[in-house]
Structure 1
Amino acid sequence: LSQIIFHSIWGTYSEDFGILAFATGNKSWKKRNEMDDAFEKMGSQDARNFRLIPFVKYSKLTSANQTGLLSVTSSQVTTRSPFSGHSRYSFGEEFFQYMEATHNNIGAAKKDIETLSNILQATKVSLLEGLKANPTQERGTTDWHEISSMTKTSYGNKVNETPSTSGVYFLQSTAK
């Protein structure tokens, strides 16, 4: 229940568990499909007590695209981070399989749509080639800070550490 509330408050349901573990110190994040008992019908259980998961490190929340990549999938194959803190992201095999399996079926009723479709396909191929050559990418626009040293006038001590992703996500359907 604590994780569900945490995701609801911070919008972290699409963040990689490696980044969440770094920011909170909690190493036991669970996927949605591992928490079925937590999603009961409204009114089917009495109120339950829980502890909010605290942050030990933080960054500003994101408002900009952190990598230049956009992913819309039914099963999560990449992260959409709510944090703008610097991090190291690795693209896993599931991401490459998804990208290679999908096609730009935009339709070619008009010449301009066909041209656009060809451009999108060429961009996708170029993107995949670049990511396969270098599957780990630096991202983020701000630093991480320690919660324990934060004051009213200071962000707190800068954390000189860059977290890496684990490749495990809340909405991921495959076992990892």
Structure 2
Amino acid sequence: MAVLLVLAISVLALVLTIRQGLGESFIRNGNWYTSESIGSADASATVRAVVAIAGLLASTREDSMYYTVKSVDGEPLRLDCRYRIEGDDYNADWWSITAYGWDYFLIPNQQKRYSFNNENVVRNEDGSWVIQVSASKEEGNWLPVGPSGTPISSKSTDNDFDLLFRLYTPGDAYLQNPETAPLPIVTLEGCS
């Protein structure tokens, strides 16, 4: 009986650790977070478990960098709020911004719009761009968010969704100074 109790406590501790993510190994850059451990052969068992659950198909750091936003200025991303992402070009062969539900899957939507990238984002005359993120339809580059496909009873996070910024074959600024490299700016525009 004691062995089963120890086993149950160990499994619970592992699940809670994985749900909390990478914890202290995160590097912050504004509202964005990344980790130098993702894609590294030196990654701990916890980092590998988190990537296996939430970072499907993550590749090596030299090939790609991943930044995530789960909150803006300390407030979790919510479905009843509107967000604005502003950016320009980034030193990478290819980049994208994707919205994921709290269940780590793409968010189902009628538009079948899940991300924008350096090839399909509509730009301003100066080359900059703006993406609107909300549950209600917006003009221009609109990234729809809504309820995840998984039942709410399974929700284990404070945020309703998160944003992932991928850079493939990133430049030296991202590899050497991920905490200061240029990234898109995410702003909360309002909530209903």
Range of TM-score over shorter length: under 0.3
Q: Please tell me whether Structure 1 or Structure 2 has the larger radius of gyration of its CA atoms.
A: 1
When normalised by structure 2's length, the TM-score is 0.26
When normalised by structure 1's length, the TM-score is 0.27
Bigger relative contact order (CA 8 A; separation at least 6): 1
Higher strand share: 2
Higher helix share: 1
